[in-house]
Copies of this chain bind each other. A is one copy, B any other.
Amino acid sequence: MTIKISIDCMGGDHGPSVTIPAALSFLSSEPEAELILVGLQDELRAELKKHKADSHPRLSILHASEVVTMDDPIEIALRRKKDSSMRVAIELVKDGKAQACVSAGNTGALMAVSRYVLKTMAGVDRPAICSILPNQKDGPTYMLDLGANVDCEPHHLHQFAIMGSVLVSAMEGIKRPTIGLLNVGTEEIKGNEVVKATGKLLREDHERGALNFYGNVEGNDIFKGTTDIVVCDGFVGNVTLKAAEGLGRFVKDALTTEFKRNPLTMLGAIIGRGALKKFSNRFNPSRYNGASLLGLRGLVFKSHGGADAYSYEWAIKRAFDAAKYNVQEQLSAMIAELMPRTPDPEVPGITHS
């Protein structure tokens, strides 16, 4: 069975020079994939020609006359650029002509346009951004929300947990993935008011067998791999993710500097290059590219804006897998089952917006 993915080829820092080679490489590795390239058709054709891929039976081009830039405010992307490659690519998902969409465009615009075009799923108050971080168990830690929702109520975090659980279950083939609630300590009494009330909701779900709630986890548990999923609000998630990226860059630069310091250390680097390469591969952010925008009436995946072709291909692969494993249908079913309980008006001290 063929799975169709629409690609916003103009999005990101590099546009077609990255998205087209990534698309071609993915096509050749995945015989079930069909890709719809969306963007300025002349640019797309020129790039395809460069790669001697003017025509391919599983590749089509859809012209879109506008481009959402990385600096465009959300309002421009939403109200002015109605024929942007980003929007047209998302509309293909809405119209059932693609099963998932990939874009490296700016996150705020992508989320806003996706919400406007696709709408939010019934039972979900706010879509969330979910991505993967490497952990010491050599597996992925799924973390959400990573920045879509900076002010959250307990029922939002509760919904994130449900969506994360469905995503991991489908993508990783784990029947009852473990959910950790990011907190300042592991005890139930720890945390701010929102997190404490969220813990209560998740414990109730756990007790009736609906979710596999591990309990509170701390910042270091993200990289320990204590749980499959780490749930937090978008403020905490965004800051933590960027801090980790910043530390990662610092570490990489420092290691390079120290090994280049003199002939002896350079020799060490040459002899130990196998170790250094394997080390750096474990933390290679390219392998973790492709964040899900969860909770929409359609699958949208966000690539890092600065992704290269190798990294962008990972984002396409994730979108393809999500479509293949029916993430959207499983989400709908799980949400229909669990959502009537939320928002919970009985959580004390918390006002629901």
Please determine whether B272 and A259 come into contact, CB atoms closer than 8 angstroms: yes
Please determine whether A246 and B220 come into contact, CB atoms closer than 8 angstroms: yes
Please determine whether B242 and A219 come into contact, CB atoms closer than 8 angstroms: yes
Contact of A247 among B195, B242, B247, B274 (CB under 8 A): B247
Nearest neighbor of A248 in chain B, beta-carbon distance? B247
Known: A268-B273, A279-B258. A184 touches B147 (CB 8 A): yes
Please determine whether B265 and A268 come into contact, CB atoms closer than 8 angstroms: no
A240 interfacial contact with B, CB 8 Å: yes
User: Which residues of chain B are within 8 angstroms of A147 by Cβ–Cβ distance?
Assistant: 184
Please determine whether A268 and B258 come into contact, CB atoms closer than 8 angstroms: no
User: In the bound complex, what is the Cα–Cα distance between A118 and B324 (angstroms)?
Assistant: 62
Nearest neighbor of A136 in chain B, beta-carbon distance? B250
Please determine whether A222 and B238 come into contact, CB atoms closer than 8 angstroms: no
User: Which residues of chain B are within 8 angstroms of A195 by Cβ–Cβ distance?
Assistant: 235
Contact of A240 among B136, B234, B243, B274 (CB under 8 A): B243
A29 interfacial contact with B, CB 8 Å: no
A271 interfacial contact with B, CB 8 Å: yes
A1 interfacial contact with B, CB 8 Å: no
User: In the bound complex, what is the Cα–Cα distance between A134 and B222 (angstroms)?
Assistant: 21
User: Which residues of chain B are within 8 angstroms of A278 by Cβ–Cβ distance?
Assistant: 258, 261
Please determine whether A249 and B236 come into contact, CB atoms closer than 8 angstroms: no
Please determine whether B249 and A220 come into contact, CB atoms closer than 8 angstroms: yes
Interface of A is mostly: helix
A131 → chain B closest CB, angstroms: 14
A292 → chain B closest CB, angstroms: 18
Please determine whether A249 and B223 come into contact, CB atoms closer than 8 angstroms: yes
A138 → chain B closest CB, angstroms: 10
A124 → chain B closest CB, angstroms: 20
A53 interfacial contact with B, CB 8 Å: no
User: In the bound complex, what is the Cα–Cα distance between A104 and B193 (angstroms)?
Assistant: 28
User: In the bound complex, what is the Cα–Cα distance between A147 and B183 (angstroms)?
Assistant: 10
Copies of this chain per assembly: 2
Beta-carbon contacts under 8 Å, A201-245 to B: 218-224, 232, 234-236, 238-245
User: Which residues of chain B are within 8 angstroms of A282 by Cβ–Cβ distance?
Assistant: 254
Contact of A246 among B222, B261, B276 (CB under 8 A): B222
User: Which residues of chain B are within 8 angstroms of A193 by Cβ–Cβ distance?
Assistant: 151
A150 interfacial contact with B, CB 8 Å: yes
User: In the bound complex, what is the Cα–Cα distance between A275 and B243 (angstroms)?
Assistant: 25
Please determine whether A219 and B243 come into contact, CB atoms closer than 8 angstroms: yes
Known: A258-B275, A273-B268. A247 touches B250 (CB 8 A): no
A191 interfacial contact with B, CB 8 Å: yes
A123 → chain B closest CB, angstroms: 24
User: In the bound complex, what is the Cα–Cα distance between A259 and B273 (angstroms)?
Assistant: 9
Chain A 55-91 per-residue mask, 1 if CB under 8 angstroms from chain B, else 0: 0000000000000000000000000000000000000
User: In the bound complex, what is the Cα–Cα distance between A289 and B124 (angstroms)?
Assistant: 44
A28 interfacial contact with B, CB 8 Å: no
Q: What would 16 more interface pairs be, CB under 8 Å, given A220-B246, A259-B275? A: A135-B250, A136-B253, A150-B192, A151-B193, A182-B239, A220-B245, A236-B236, A236-B239, A239-B240, A254-B283, A258-B278, A261-B275, A261-B278, A264-B274, A265-B275, A268-B272
* Chain A residues proximal to chain B, CB less than 8 Å: 134-136, 147, 150-151, 182-184, 191-193, 195, 218-224, 232, 234-236, 238-251, 253-255, 258-259, 261-262, 264-265, 267-276, 278-279, 282-283
